[in-house]
């Protein structure tokens, strides 16, 4: 089992394995473009536990709260 997104180092590309959130929050993440199977690259983290900046495979870039990233399970993108 891979790490959750909040623990993925900057610069690393991973695949979303599962999203452990309420269906409402999962749906919202899905609408934005972050779903199980999506490949994400961690671009940076804001200082002092601020949001994470990630890029999806399609080129969409998003800021995601750390608390949300902690609910996104990841696996190797390979």
Partner 1 sequence: MTAECHTDPAPEASKGGEEQARTGLRVVLVGRPNSGKSSLYNTLTGGNAHVGNYPGVTVDILEADVALEGGRTATVCDLPGFYSLAATVDADTDEGIARRFLDAPHDGPRLVTQVIDATQLGLGLTLTKELLRRGEALQLVVTQNDLLEADDRRLDATALEAALGVPVCLVTGRDRAARTRVLEALAAHPLGATSAGTWEPKALARSVIRSIEAGAPSTGILGPSRRQRATAALDRLLLHPLLGPVLFVGIMTLIFAAVFLVADPASDAVNWVMGLLGKLITRGLGNGLLASFLVDGVLGGAGTVLAFMPQIVILTVAMELLDATGYLARGAFLVDRVLRFMGLSGRSFLPLLMGHACAVPAISATRIIRDPRERLTTILVLPLMTCSARIPTYALVVSTFFSDRGALFRAALFVGLYFAGLLAGLLASLALRRTATKGRGLPLVLEMPSYRTPQPLLVAKKGYLAAKRFLRDVGTTILAVAAVLWVLLNVPVPGRGSPSDPVIERSVAAAVGQGLEPITRPAGFDWRMNVALVGSFGARELMVGTMGVILGVEDADNDTTTLAQKIRDAKKPDGSPQYTTRTGLSLLAFFVLACQCMSTVAAIRRETKSLRWPAFVLAYTYGVAYLASVLVYQLAGAFGIA
Which residues lie near partner 1 (CB under 8 A)? 24-25, 27-34, 39, 43-44, 46-51, 53, 55-65, 67-68
Q: Which is nearer to partner 1, 1 or 48 (CB)?
A: 48
The torsion angles phi and psi of 4, rounded to 5 degrees, stand at -80, 160
- Least distance from C-beta 46 to partner 1, angstroms? 6
- Least distance from C-beta 60 to partner 1, angstroms? 5
> DSSP letters along 4-66, please?
BGGGSPTT-EEEEEEE-S-HHHHHHHHHHT--TT-EEEEEEE-TTT--EEEEETTS-EEEE-H
- Least distance from C-beta 73 to partner 1, angstroms? 16
Q: Which is nearer to partner 1, 1 or 58 (CB)?
A: 58
Q: Residue 53 pairs with which residues in a beta bridge?
A: 44, 63
Q: Which is nearer to partner 1, 2 or 30 (CB)?
A: 30
């Amino acid at each position: 089992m891979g790490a959750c997104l909040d623990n993925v180092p900057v610069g690393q590309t991973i695949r979303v394995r599962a999203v452990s959130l309420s269906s409402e929050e999962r749906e919202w993440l899905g609408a934005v473009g972050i779903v199980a199977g999506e490949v994400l690259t961690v671009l940076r983290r804001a200082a002092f536990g601020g949001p994470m900046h990630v890029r999806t495979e399609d080129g969409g870039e998003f800021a995601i709260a750390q608390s949300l990233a902690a609910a996104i399970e990841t696996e190797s993108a390979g």
